[in-house]
A and B are shown apart, each in its own frame.
Chain A
Amino acid sequence: MSKDILIAARDLSVHFPLRGFVFGERPVVRACEGINLEIERGSFFGLVGESGSGKTTLGRAMLKAAPISHGEVVYSDHEVTYDLGTLKGPELKDYRKRSQLIFQDPYAALSPRMTVRDIIAEPLEVMGLTSSREETDAKVREIAAKCRLNLEHLRRFPHAFSGGQRQRISIARALVSDPRFIVADESVAALDVSIQADVLNLLNSIQQESGITFLFISHDLSVIAHTCDFVAVMYLGQIVESAPTRKLFSETSHPYTKALLSAIPSLDPDDQHVAQKLEGEIPSPINPPPGCRFNTRCPHAQERCRTEVPEWREMSSGHHVACHFSEELA
């Protein structure tokens, strides 16, 4: 049986040329480079990485909100197939309905001058999905109830709400156009832990009820581990490892994933494990190191890592890794 892939990136690169350099070659920020990614329909796909790893850019490229410099992104549900690189006009509009984005900061994402009802209804009106005000209102109420928003609150303005409630409003707005694919970019990072769990549970229940495919971007591996079925780990614009969640944690293969896992402080005060120390910091994406991009910080780096770019290979079913020595290190 072949996999049912909703959206796939093949050898995708996103480059941003820097402005203001007159002489010589214009420097380019290589935000994403040679990304291969397949997201199955109905999955909760996690993308984890540190700041500057390019995870947001990748998420945006999959929504056609960042320029695709090289390679392709193909979206395909059972009704349409779009190649995002060349998508425009009415087809692009149609794709905007099918894909949505939930932002990190619920304080910045909602217009302070619109009521909650108008915020949630706006996508319906802009895209012309409903024909009458009654229909719009009914739809807004249905979605608000789904996101556990109090219907009494629809007439209020966003400032009256706490962070958790605002994030539920953002989620309602994303859901209202009946999308098939949602990118949730650090959607719980700005929330307190006691509220964060509530939003995660809500996203999970929406996913299970409606079968929407999620790309969940986060810097927090423990949040990803709890919500996602599948995880990809990014470092400096490249995916270094991807696998079903359980496999990633039980058969961690890439040294960067290992370091990331061991850096998470344990809740057990008697846990004496010393975080596997990564020296230094993430290099600049303008001038990434040659060979394996992780070689400047990798504790196992050898000569070959500094010259030869590691191949993206399949270790076992569904478990990919880009490291020359993952077998020896496992």
Chain B
Amino acid sequence: MTSPLISVKNLTLRFKTDEGMVTAVNDVSFDIAPGEVLGLVGESGSGKSVTAKALMMLNAENSVYDDNSRITLRTDEREIDVLSLKRPKDQMIIRGGAISMIFQEPMASFAPAISIGDQMIEQLMIHSDMTPAQAKEVSIEMLNRVGIPEPAHRFKQYAFEFSGGMRQRAMIAMALSTKPRLLIADEPTTALDVTIQAQVIELMKDLVDEFHMSILFITHDLGVIAQTADRVAVMYLGNLVETGTVRQVINTPAHPYTRGLLNSLPKLDDLEAQLTPVPGDIPSPLDRPSGCVFHTRCVETAGIAEQCRTQIPGYTSDSSNHQVACHLATQGDQS
């Protein structure tokens, strides 16, 4: 087995706020293999974006990483301990170099008063030793590759002259022009219409094959995950509750939260099916439940409610590395 491209071990991240320390990510561990697409699923406030930003040290000033947290990036030459990079100059190796990121709202990600082309050249100049003319050539080539018509003309335009789908394509072109090893895609299709979303997903699939890079794909949409990811990690309130291959997680979900999410989703092939909401609301991260973080909304605690309330469930894994953090799963192993 090849060693993972990036491994995250025991990542715990808190934010200092006026109301106290807020735990945004709690003891999260996962690996991404080269060429693999890992889907990170969770609702708003589950900590998925914060986790992704941690990989590039992009979280705000008031973030505090726990001492045990480790993020290791393996490139061809060496291993990089991401969290130890303190100087902005060193952080450049990962930011936009080994790792690129595309965001949900492409309008907010481009500078409005600098042309798309100049922004693309700027980052190529930083991360490679190209001349401006070469950088321009590469950028236009990338715009062409992501399916933007008349790339040489579009190159000179500004973000407001692009439509939503075009902006997201330009964003992808820009992120990929430095040939990163890992692309972090944070809800890249959420702001797009379904027909445009289908175009962008297909483009991303093609590009993974072509560039052989890994993707951390963040979304709340399980349908998008099912169509793009190789493996899936499900987050709830800062905790990773389940990880496995996309087939394991979607076809045989092991955590009650994953089951709840799937049951609350309207499905087109079964219009009669009742929609079953997950009861209650996501608790505030300031007031994290004791024991299993999901126990306040779990409908399957019958019989072991006491255990769920007081003990934090550990990860159990079956032979095919389908991991779940739930007391029910531990019980199943014992019986």
Interface residues of chain A, those whose CB is within 8 Å of chain B, are 50-51, 162, 164-165, 192-198, 200-201, 219-223, 225-226, 245-246, 249, 259-271, 274-275, 277-278, 281-282
B265 touches A267 (CB 8 A): yes
Residues on B with C-beta less than 8 A from A198 are 277, 279
- CB neighbours (8 Å) of B166 from chain A are 281
Minimum CB–CB distance from B218 to chain A (whole Å) comes to 14
Evaluate contact between B265 and A162: CB separation under 8 angstroms.
Answer: no
Contact B224–A194 (Cβ < 8 Å) = no
List chain B residues, Cβ under 8 A from A281: 163, 165-166, 196
State A198–B281 Cα separation when bound (angstroms): 11
Contacts A194-B277, A197-B276, A226-B266 given; does A263 touch B271 at CB 8 Å: no
Interface of B is mostly: helix
Q: In the assembled complex, which residues on chain A have CB atoms less than 8 Å from the CB atom of B273?
A: 226
Q: Which residues of B contact A226 (CB under 8 A)?
A: 266, 271, 273, 275
Is B277 a contact partner of A195 (Cβ separation < 8 A)?
A: yes
User: 6 closest Cβ contacts across the A-B interface?
Assistant: A198-B277, A194-B278, A265-B223, A197-B277, A197-B264, A275-B198
Instruction: Evaluate whether A266 and B199 lie within 8 angstroms (CB atoms) in the complex, with A194-B264, A201-B277, A222-B268 already known.
Output: no
Q: List 25 A-B contacts (CB under 8 A).
A: A50-B193, A50-B194, A193-B43, A194-B260, A194-B278, A195-B278, A196-B264, A197-B264, A197-B265, A200-B275, A201-B277, A221-B268, A222-B267, A225-B268, A245-B271, A260-B194, A263-B194, A264-B268, A265-B221, A267-B262, A267-B265, A269-B250, A270-B247, A277-B202, A282-B193
* Closest beta carbon of chain B to A280's beta carbon, Å: 9
| Cα–Cα distance between A277 and B202 once the two chains are bound (Å) | 10
Q: How far is the CB of A295 from chain B (nearest CB, A)?
A: 15
Interface size counted on chain B using CB atoms at 8 A:
44
Closest chain B residue, CB of each to CB of A204: B275
- Chain A residues whose CB sits within 8 angstroms of the CB of B271 once the complex forms: 225-226, 245-246, 249
Inter-chain contact A269/B227, CB cutoff 8 Å:
yes
Is there an interface contact between A259 and B222, defined as CB atoms closer than 8 Å? no
A273 to B242, CA, bound (A): 27
Is B282 part of the binding interface, using a Cβ–Cβ cutoff of 8 Å?
Answer: yes
